[in-house]
Structure 1
């Protein structure tokens, strides 16, 4: 677990009510989306590229209406 590189995008101060995990933990390449109700609050990316991080930022902005 300590050899993971994690990028956090969004607000993680609010406790999520649900989470969606895609990818595989064993390969250390996964993405977790954190929701408060139906609203996306944060995205965690493991071993992500800059393109994936920028895409997550855009996705979160669209979800929050910014």
Structure 2
């Protein structure tokens, strides 16, 4: 699994950083920072939750990468 984000479209809500802090962070402008683009399977649920809670849909997962 490889995680992708569109930082330019991020609204800075921060749900991703709250739900999966080992994978997502925020910069000084509150935009998403991808800390780990290939987290282990133990973080699958947290990543899926972060992706589904993102109000602008800037997180997506490539299962084949």
Query: Is TM > 0.5 for Structure 1 vs Structure 2?
Result: no
TM-score (norm. length: structure 1): 0.33
Q: Highest relative contact order (Cα 8 Å, sep 6+), 1 or 2? A: 2
TM-score (norm. length: structure 2): 0.34
Bigger Cα Rg: 1
Identify, as 1 or 2, the structure richer in strand.
1
